[in-house]
Chains A and B, each alone.
Chain A
Amino acid sequence: MWLLASLLLAFAPHTLRLPLAVSALCLLFGLWRFSIERRTTTTLPHRLTLTLLLCTTLVIVYLHYGTLLGRDAGISLLATMLALKLLEMRSVRDYIVVIFLGYFLAITLVLYNQTLPMAAYMIVVAFMLTATLVNLNQQPKNRSITLNVKLTAKLFAQALPLMLILFFLFPRIPGPLWSLPDDAHSGTTGISESMSMGSISNLSQSNAIAFRVAFDDEVIENNLSYWRGPVLWQTDGKNWLRGTSQATQSNVSYRPKGKPISYTVTLEPHHQKWLYGLDLPATVPAGATLNRDFQLLTPSKINELKRYRLTSYSEYETGSLTADEMQRALQLPLNKNHRAQALGQQWRQQLREPEAVVQQALQYFNQQPFTYTLQPPLLGNNPVDEFLFNTQQGFCEHYAASFTVLMRAAGIPARIVTGYQGGDFNPVGNYLIVRQRDAHAWAEVWLSGKGWVRIDPTAAVAPERIALGAETLFSELFNRPSTIQFNNAFLANHWLKLRYGWDSLNNSWNQWVIGYDALKQSQLLSRFGIDSIKQMAIVMAAAIISIMTILLLLSTHRNRKQRDSISLAYQHFCQKLASIGLPRLPHEGPVDFTQRIIHARPDLEPQVTQINELYIALKYRPRHTQQQIKILQRQVRQLKL
């Protein structure tokens, strides 16, 4: 029963991820076994039936995934095998195999989700499986759930310090050991290498954390908090891509102005090959490069939590454009968005100066009845035209894309920058939290003498988006408890504190548990003077041995015979007599012993008799006082032989 419950628990989070047929089959098998346990069905299925069922599930899994390998298919297989094994569980051996497979299922849980609640969930699953294992190793008649749960709790409590030592000191090898199957990191959201209208507004529903930033000095103001991601140049009128640059990586520089801002970013894995930095990053973290778009690139995908330090300048002046860049920054598909292109050209002819055209465009967004919405209407083949002249409802990518199209039509080099904007400050942990819903797109235009200038057309439509952040603006849209409108300011305040506290906890969790990898381990341990894997292993072994020894001493000292002060006094008495050649024989009771002493040494009679009487009284009568024990001890001490 316990086994089934714990397996169900281990399986539950997978049910929606796995193919429907697989989930249904597993649950069916579990139910089957349950009815066997309940005695409603008594017979276990025949071997042939099992083989047939196995083949069926293999086919289902193969049809669904096109392979039997990889993470998702592997988990499907594991789950179905486990469920099938349930149907042929007979001996203790089978049960143990199932429990071990259950542990395996437990670890697959965290391949998808490494949050704090999932960790707790996983430990509960492991706990229940272990309790089942304890139960199996008891005689059937002595199986007591309370005792077993207590014992398991004790095992886990004692295992905790050992686990911590292993976790922090076990030499980590930077993975992966072999190339991971393609599906290893599917299903995660974040900004991608391309943008189409509607792609970022999808992200805006997500509360997931993109990264956290701890500033060395003070937190940057919200309207400067632009976190630079991919820069998009190439468009077919609908979609925006990075395009191919012919520029070499060499000449990446700009003239910084103002104060440098230093900070540390903890980036959640987003499975892309870049980092986010505040506009514009000046330093480059180890292993990364800064390209001509001022984007920080990494050689491999960020598949685990990454922490890096950066310095940025929020005011800057970039240099000139290459011919290639100029051409890419003006590229427009000829056959699309004619009205927008016409409008851009018209502005340029009227106003001449690029700065004036930029101003005109921003005014246009501001004065026309544009609205900023999370649910923009769907757009057709000429999305910019439709947006600018018909629907006029859009999210940041609509504004950024239309603005860029207008600029390019007016002959002003322009490009789209995607990334994040804003974030909420966590006063508990003193850091900025940037979430997926803070994803943003803005434009950059190149003006001679100034270089690339950031223009955020969204600010023209909804300035509060930039000033206050996405959450405040859309709070009524997010149906989350975190934004329930509290009438009571006191409650609201505490709710906020609780939320920040929780996030702060998550941040520490990420820093110390999830983000603890080979690199961080060597950093941490070198602070304690542990530099090599060999030293690590030695320290780990020493720590484990000492903890085991302590636990051993603690757990076995209660095993010894408990000697009270009465017995000790009597033992002392026996030792004294043994020293004069009258040892107490093993079978001798105190009375016999006394008689033998008196027989051998009549001179000792009064004292020995007294001691004997006192001892018997103290030992076998229910009530005695401390005073009597003291008398016994004194008499033994004063016994002269």
Chain B
Amino acid sequence: MKYLPPSIEQLAARFFNVERRSGNSRDNSVTLTRRRIYILPTYYGLLFSMLLMLLLVGATNYNNSLGFVLTFLLASVGLVSILHTYRNLHHLKVSAGKAKATFCGATASFQLLLENPGKNRRNTICVRFKGQLPAAINLSPNETTEIKLTTPATQRGWQPLEKITVDTIYPLGLFRAWTHVSLPKSCLVYPRPATQALPPISTGDGTGKSSPQNGGDDFIGFRSYQPGDSPRHVNWKAAAHSEALLTKRFGGNESDEQWFEWASLQGLDTESRLSQLCRWIIDAEQRGHHYGLRLPSSTIQPGQGGDHQHRCLKLLALFDRP
């Protein structure tokens, strides 16, 4: 399926001032109404109207009534198809679902729910971020479908859901109805984990032990790949056989409780420090250690588990961010 190159759309956007009017919803869902849906002919629509002109001239020239019948029939079908294109989007409900936290450098994926509240079937609706290739979906009456839109996560912190384009050229491809939807949804982006883990200068609670992360020479097994793992530790041989990447784990001496401290990473800029802390946290979690985090602004008491990791990483993600 080929889509309208942007120029017509951009012109139209300028003309109708779409940017200004495109709906921002405080709610997490948007129902597409008359005010939001724009409709213009596609290039094929323009070609079709040229065809109609030619047919009209031909029919007039030969004074051929059936020629007029065909011309007007096709013109009417074209006109009616506008309604079908419009109806295909009309009253469609788009709502934002979950957005799983991700690491900077990976992809942020947003879950979107498309609900067809009416009794009409909807066909070939494309939902995408601007400039992306469309994924088309069909909706039966009263059906709700979930789709995932992905975009690169480029900066730590809250990454807002970009403007989404919902469009359709159904049924004849002569007209394109579209709308831009902005939903107040954000995806949490953790800092980019450092590829190489420095030996953490962690202050244990009295034991004083420090443990180098992955620093031991003993191979202790595999775990699934996580962003930030050193490529040298990836089990490439296994990767050739299966889709999942495995990282080799090397273990050294274990410690029960560690503190990862901002203050211990002297001489690095903020982002590098956060990356390093992020790496440590991931690795510690992977090994099942108890760890705590100490930043200039706040402190998290040692703990373990998914939630604990998330709290720590979130603190890092939002460090110095509103």
Contact = CB atoms under 8 A, between A and B. Distances in A.
B289 interface: no
Contacts of A551: 80, 83
Interface string B51-69: 1001101111111111111
A560 B82 CA distance: 19
Interface stretch (A33-41, A168-176, A356-364): A168-176
Contacts of A514: 65-66
Contacts of A247: none
A556 B87 contact: yes
A167 B83 CA distance: 21
B87 A559 contact: yes
Interface string A533-557: 0000000000010001001100110
Interface stretch (B112-120, B291-299, B304-312): B112-120
Given A100-B51, A159-B80, A544-B79, A137 B118 contact: no
Contact of B60 (A92, A123, A126, A177): A177
Contacts of B87: 552, 555-556, 559
B222 to A, nearest CB: 38
A552 B83 contact: yes
B173 A107 contact: no
A556 B2 CA distance: 27
Contact of A559 (B61, B69, B120, B124): B120
B168 to A, nearest CB: 9
Contacts of B173: 96, 133, 136-137
Nearest to A555: B87
Q: Which one of B59, B61, B77, B124 has the greatest number of beta carbons of chain A within 10 Å?
A: B77
Nearest to A512: B65
B74 interface: yes
A123 B74 CA distance: 10
Contact of A303 (B59, B63, B83): B63
Contact of A142 (B62, B64, B91, B138): B138
B119 A107 contact: no
Contacts of B48: 100
A123 B76 CA distance: 13
A562 interface: yes
A96 to B, nearest CB: 6
A170 B59 CA distance: 13
B80 A155 contact: yes
B154 to A, nearest CB: 31
Nearest to B93: A561
B183 to A, nearest CB: 14
A437 B235 CA distance: 93
A142 B137 CA distance: 10
Interface in B165-190: 169-173
B209 interface: no
A262 to B, nearest CB: 27
Interface residues of A, number: 64
A514 B66 CA distance: 7
A119 interface: yes
Contacts of A495: none
A385 interface: no
Given A133-B173, A151-B171, A551-B80, A513 B69 contact: yes
B66 A130 contact: no
B71 interface: yes
A521 to B, nearest CB: 11
Interface in B1-44: 1-2, 27, 44
B203 interface: no
Contact of A180 (B57, B61, B79): B61
A93 B2 contact: yes
A111 interface: yes
Given A91-B2, A137-B124, A562-B119, A175 B77 contact: no
A172 B79 CA distance: 20
16 contacts: A107-B67, A110-B64, A110-B70, A137-B1, A138-B124, A138-B170, A163-B76, A167-B69, A172-B60, A172-B68, A173-B60, A177-B61, A548-B79, A552-B83, A556-B86, A559-B90
Given A151-B171, A555-B83, 4 more contacts: A114-B64, A114-B65, A142-B124, A558-B120
Interface of B: 1-2, 27, 44, 47-48, 51, 54-55, 57-77, 79-84, 86-87, 90-91, 117-120, 123-124, 136, 138, 169-173
Q: Which 9 A-B pairs have the closest CB atoms?
A: A159-B76, A162-B76, A559-B118, A110-B66, A166-B72, A559-B91, A561-B117, A137-B173, A163-B76
